Amino acid sequence: NNVSQNIDKIKVWANSYKEVSDGEICLVVINPNKDEINLLSTIGIVVYPYILQTNETINNSRLAYQIETLDKLDWSWVLITDVFDVIFQDDPFPKMTQGDITVASEGIYHSEEPWNIDVIQKSYPNKVELVKNKEIYCSGVIGGRKKSIIELLTQMDIIVMSGIKGHDI
């Protein structure tokens, strides 16, 4: 959301991908205006606009919008990334052909990262012991076969929506 406010970050992300790959760039955008959609289109981004229609936060709702978008795309392989946290240095797709799903690791455990353990404590208090010594996998970098990614995002969405409300997951 807030495309106009974040256009410079979006351009860095999109241009870094264009430098390493000739694949299409698609952006799921929440609550855009016409000018923002046009701006993204002029820089070569396929826009899938959605209006937030839930009491959930954008962060918690995005999985459903990503699933809906992927269903519409005629692609075999996909990569879903956070826009602000990723700069491409190489084409990611050749590295993803080893299996159905590729997910980046944060390289630390939930108990070692204050934001993550806080989310678990507030949203899933009965799961803290189960996950505190488990490695964090980054939901902001997920790629692979489209069908497998849709299945994974669907499972993630069910988990997110089952948490205690009031905190971004």
Strands (E), 110-159: 135-145
Sign of CA dihedral 42, 48, 54, 55: negative
Q: How far apart are CA 106 and CA 104, in angstroms?
A: 7
Q: Please determine, for residue 97, whether its predicted confidence score (pLDDT) is greater than 80.
A: no
pLDDT 10s digits, 30-88? 999 999 999 999 999 999 999 998 888 888 899 999 999 999 999 999 999 999 989 99
**Average pLDDT score, the chain:** 93
pTM of the model: 0.91
% of the chain with per-residue pLDDT over 90: 81
pLDDT score at 72: 96
